Each structure stands twice: as structure tokens, then as C-alpha cells.
A = this chain, B = another copy of it.
Amino acid sequence: MNKLSLRAAVIGATGYTGQEVMRLLRRHPRLRVAYATSESSAGTAVPGHALRYVQSGAVPFDAVDIVFTCLPTGASGAVALRAHAAGACVVDLSADLRHGAGGAVYGLTELRRPALRQAKLVANPGCYPTGIVLALAPLLRAGVVDAARATIIDAASGVTGAGRTAKRELLYAEVAEDYRAYGVGNTHRHVPEIARELSAENGGVRPPFVFTPHLLPVRRGILETIYVPLAAGADAATLREEARAAYGEEAFVEVLAAGLPSLGDVVGTNRVVMGFADVVDSGAPLALAIVAFDNLLKGAAGQAVQNANVMLGACEREGLAA
């Protein structure tokens, strides 16, 4: 591949994930944005690119190499399928194709690399599941989780996770100095995705878990505090060891030797950082796993570019330097 030899289209380039894909591609050594769409801004200049926004209907999908569909869930998948049918490689960043529609490969890069290398259509994972599945997969595989007890996943996300549509509850004056849970009781739309992926790592059996997301008064970042019930003999060191064994070679997953990550460690990067801690006096043994990452990067646009790199045979880190 030559430098800047590949042409990309970004569908929905003015939402938070679309903007972030655009920002990453400005620095990408091989991908060049040929088309960026925005229905409302069509005709105006794209900041940082020598380009004007076009209507999404105006993109010739057969004349681009890779398409990132960044529309809201409900609208994005159909465009992704259309682009795929026209022969482009496609990464869809919505929830539309995450359950296999159109034969899409699930794009949790570190866990699905062989399939992604062959894929033409990828469903980028949900933000919350990305951290949860990366943290728990090696532990489930190693059998160090006591699957008879529920894993508690208490998660908090910055507001860009809710998208850029104007809603009263996302106004500055509503969110600042507030904090709240939402989608509680395993009712959040990411629960089936989490369940499917954890089951896959657990021999096909769904391990019991409870997922509670909260809305943080920050712009970006997700921190997940996971209470892991331990199989006999395991402790935080065991979990850390399994995670390090799984991710030792990974560019974008860091397992802390000590301490726990915070949002400030990861925002602005494509990294997932995780740490483990013992808990005393907990009754039946459990340990804490805390995972942090940027919901717009490893949780969305960063992983999308990472997946595109894999699909296109480029170096996985291109355009994603910390």
C-alpha cells in the first residue's frame, strides 16, 4: 500500500463519533477522506480537511475503499449494507449490525482479529461492552470467575456516549454537577451484546451479571468498576496474570502492574487500561477489576479505524498513535 492511497467515506461526519473518525483520518498515513456527509451542513467546508460536506446520497460507494457509517442507530445499518453491496469495505459504528445482520463481523479487534482480516463488513462494538468484554474474556476463559455468582458491572460514561442530538436532559445546565444511573436492572440495550460476548468466552454459557450504567458530568471517557466473583484459589493477582497473558503484546490494551486506571489516563487515546484489586472481608471471595477507556476512541471511532486497518491489511496502529 502506498501512502494516502486509500479513499474513505465518513457517513454522518458531524456527530460525535463521526467527528472523531474525521479527526483520526486527518493524521492517518494511508487513508484519505474523499467524502464526508452531513445532511444539514452539505455544501459547507469540513474543518481540517480540504473538502465540503455532501449529502449521503451523493457518495459513490463503488469508488471508495472504506466506508465508516456513523449515523444514529436505526439509520446507520441500512447505509452500511448499501455500501457493502456496492463493494466497499465497511465499518458500521451504530448498534444496527452488532447481532450479525448482513453477516457483519463483530469488531472487538483484540478478540476477533482472524475474522476481521477477512471481513468486508464490520459491526463496531458498543462502547460499554468493549471494556467489559476485554476485561472479562481472559478471566472467563481461564476459569477464574465463579460463574455461580453474579458479576456486578457498575459503569459510568461521559455524555458524548449519548450522541449529539439536542435533548433537554443533555443540556449543560442539566448535566453539570449531576450524576445519575439510567437503563438499570439489565435493561440497557448493550446488555444482549454483553451477554452474547461473555457467553462466547464462557463456553457458550451465559455467566450471571448485572450491568448498571451512570451518566457522568464529563465529555468523554468510560470507567467500569467490575466486581468479579472468584473461583477457588484465585485472587486479584491471578486475574492480573491472566489479563497480562492475554494482552501482553497488544498495543491498545494495558494491564496495570499495580494501581487502578482513571479517566484522565485514557481520554484522548485508543487505549483500554485495566487494573485489579483484592477486597477484604467480602464474604465469598471477589476481586475488583477497573477498566477505563475513551468512549469515542477505543469505544467507537478509534476501534473503527483499528478495525479498518486490520481489514485493509495496514498496520493496526496507523493513525492511532497515543
Asked if A164 meets B171 with Cβ closer than 8 Å, knowing A208-B282, A260-B184, A264-B178, the reply is: yes
Within 8 A of B (CB), among A146-176: 148-150, 152, 154, 156, 158-160, 164-168, 170-176
Within 8 A of B (CB), among A204-246: 206, 208-210, 212, 214, 216-221, 223, 225, 227
Asked if A278 meets B185 with Cβ closer than 8 Å, knowing A150-B284, A166-B167, A171-B166, the reply is: yes
Q: Are the CB atoms of A149 and B152 closer together than 8 Å?
A: no
Q: State A176–B159 Cα separation when bound (angstroms).
A: 11
Cβ 8 A contact of A283, one of B26, B149, B223: B149
The 6 A-B pairs at the shortest CB distance, nearest first, are namely A208-B283, A180-B262, A172-B175, A154-B154, A166-B166, A178-B264
A167's nearest neighbour on chain B, judged by CB, is B166
Residues of B contacting A150 in the complex (Cβ-Cβ under 8 angstroms): 282-284, 286
Q: In the assembled complex, how far is the CB of residue A280 from the closest CB belonging to chain B, in whole angstroms? A: 5
A281 contacts the other chain (CB 8 A):
yes
Asked if A223 meets B180 with Cβ closer than 8 Å, knowing A159-B171, A175-B172, A322-B26, the reply is: yes
A73 contacts the other chain (CB 8 A):
no
A177 contacts the other chain (CB 8 A):
yes
Given A149-B149, A180-B262, 18 more contacts at CB 8 Å? A149-B283, A150-B282, A150-B283, A159-B173, A166-B168, A166-B170, A166-B171, A174-B264, A177-B218, A177-B221, A178-B262, A178-B263, A180-B261, A180-B263, A180-B264, A185-B279, A185-B280, A210-B279
Q: Are the CB atoms of A210 and B282 closer together than 8 Å?
A: yes
Q: Are the CB atoms of A180 and B27 closer together than 8 Å?
A: no
Q: Are the CB atoms of B187 and A280 closer together than 8 Å?
A: yes
Q: Are the CB atoms of A173 and B164 closer together than 8 Å?
A: yes
Q: Considering only CB atoms and an 8 Å cut-off, how many residues of chain A contact the other chain?
A: 71
Residues of B contacting A70 in the complex (Cβ-Cβ under 8 angstroms): none
Residues of B contacting A267 in the complex (Cβ-Cβ under 8 angstroms): 177
Q: Are the CB atoms of A260 and B181 closer together than 8 Å?
A: yes
Q: Are the CB atoms of A218 and B290 closer together than 8 Å?
A: no
Q: Are the CB atoms of B208 and A214 closer together than 8 Å?
A: no
Residues of B contacting A165 in the complex (Cβ-Cβ under 8 angstroms): 168
Q: In the assembled complex, how far is the CB of residue A148 from the closest CB belonging to chain B, in whole angstroms? A: 8
A154's nearest neighbour on chain B, judged by CB, is B154
A288 contacts the other chain (CB 8 A):
yes
Q: State A81–B268 Cα separation when bound (angstroms).
A: 36
Q: Are the CB atoms of A184 and B218 closer together than 8 Å?
A: no
A186 contacts the other chain (CB 8 A):
yes
